[in-house]
Amino acid sequence: MQIIEISMGDKEKIDIIVQILSRFSAERGFPFSPSDIFLAAIEGEVVFGGLIAEVNWDWIYIKIMAIEPTARGGGYGKELIKAVEAFGRKQNLIGIWVDTFTFQSPGFYEAAGFEEFARLPNYPRGHARIFFRKLI
């Protein structure tokens, strides 16, 4: 046996790995079939930010949410959260979870009604990675 590093471009090997997980989970009654959500905050032709999320097993995981620094405080983030919550309610999902860092935006998620459920200290060193959830 050998362990090799593969790149994101090696779709064939990545698909095999995902298929192994999918079969394993499906055998236990939980098929692994994530789907993506892409939302953009736009005015005219200008993109001020957006949200990339994944839906799986009745939850939405926000992978990336970013707002242009000059647009922060303008309600874009709040509207993105409202939109992803509406999507989740329409799909009859349980909730949303997200991770952020102490140097990023934990206050934003707390203000949006998320609650902390886990914290990984010193990631990166001197800071923490914080996990939040919100039932919808």
For residues 87, 78, 125, 4, the Cα torsion angle rounded to the nearest 10 degrees is 30
pLDDT along the chain (136 residues), means of 10: 92 92 93 93 96 97 97 96 98 98 97 98 98 98
- DSSP letter at 25 equals H
Whose CA is closest to 128, among 100, 98, 97? 100
Architecture of the domain spanning 34-135: 3-Layer(aba) Sandwich (3.40)
Distances (CA, A) of 42 to 51, 119, 132: 12, 33, 26
User: What pLDDT does 79 receive?
Assistant: 98
Q: Which pLDDT score, from 0 to 100, does residue 48 have?
A: 97
| pLDDT value for 41 | 97
Q: Taking the domains of the chain in order of start, what are their residue ranges?
A: 1-32, 34-135
Phi-psi label, residue 122: left if phi above 0, alpha if psi -120 to 50, beta otherwise: left
